Amino acid sequence: MPGSARTDDPAAAHSGTAAGYRRESCDCKTDRCFPVPTDVPPAIPDAPAPAAFDLDAYLRRIGWTGSLDPTLSTLTGLLRAHMLSVPFENLDVLLGRPIRLDLAHLQQKIVVARRGGYCFEQSTVFRAALEAVGFRPVAHAARVVMVTPRDAAPRTHMFLSIPLAEGTFVVDPGFGGHGPRLPLLLEEHTVSRLDDEVYYLRRDAGDWVLTTEIDAAPVSLWCSTFERECGIDFEMGNHFTSTFPGSRFVTNLLLRALTPDGRVSVMNQDVTIVRGADVDKQRLASRSDLRLLLADHFGFDLPEVEHLKVPAIPEWT
């Protein structure tokens, strides 16, 4: 696999229980779900479980008014609209809040409160939206290998594949830094381009490997066997990602928001704002600066970040 490349983008970076725990739903339809603690105040007020995914509210959230026919064109438009509207962020992890994957909570957080999330949250919501439109998405897990060797990378990333008349396409709305903004055909070495971005999938040691180019050099982003995963598998990966002391999401501040002409990314105190060919690098001097950045570029105000604790930033602990 190609060696890792230097990057400033984040995220190279994703019932029937004991008292004091709860779990509303699981794709596996089993009562042996990994429990979610209820004694920790949730970030977003609990919402009653909806009878179905609120597609209209979601479409308003991402600003999509185009076709809802289950075609490649619609899939491409929905993915682009989602990624432009829903930022990548791990703020709740750093605030010590449980990351819940039930749709009622995710709709309250991402659709109503206009927050973002990481891969498990974003792919779960996007999957529900695609199903409501009429697509048949399949959920998969991957090992993120951009900065970690394959044998040291846990399967803690969630992405989707969608079968269409033209073939099977891969979408990954919650990868964060260097995530593809368009569906990728699941066909070896078929190159997809958008602006100056290049992506393709290749085979290596029995895995499919998502590959991009950074500074004209190939870089592997993740590898996957493309097994169909159950909801409980993502609950386990989500628990590890959001609670394990050595997880990048527990120790670092990781943010990215896409804009029509670029992106805003944050890695701890380092901020990169890209507007076309212009690159502006800044540094967050305080948590108050972070709060202003969220309001200006990420679409929400979160007063709690004034007390955010980030282990990678000694003065913010």
Which residues does the annotation mark as catalytic?
A: 119, 157, 172
- Structure tokens that stand for 260 in this block: 């029509």
User: Could you give the 3-state DSSP secondary structure of residue 132?
Assistant: helix
State the Cα–Cα distance between residues 208 and 194, nearest whole angstrom.
Answer: 21
Scanning the chain, the segments in alpha helix (DSSP H) are 55-62, 72-85, 91-94, 103-106, 119-133, 231-243, 248-251, 287-293
Q: Do 179 and 126 form a contact (C-beta atoms < 8 A)?
A: no
| Helical (H) or strand (E) element with 264 | strand 262-267
Burial of 248 (0-12, 13-18, 19+ CB in 10 A): buried
State the Cα–Cα distance between residues 218 and 16, nearest whole angstrom.
Answer: 47
Other Cβ atoms within 10 Å of 307 Cβ, number: 9
CA angle 198, 204, 220 (to 5 degrees): 35
CA angle 81, 84, 88 (to 5 degrees): 125
Q: Do 43 and 110 form a contact (C-beta atoms < 8 A)?
A: no
User: Could you give the 3-state DSSP secondary structure of residue 64?
Assistant: coil
Residue 66, C-beta contacts closer than 8 angstroms, at least 6 positions apart: 74, 77
| Helical (H) or strand (E) element with 208 | strand 207-214
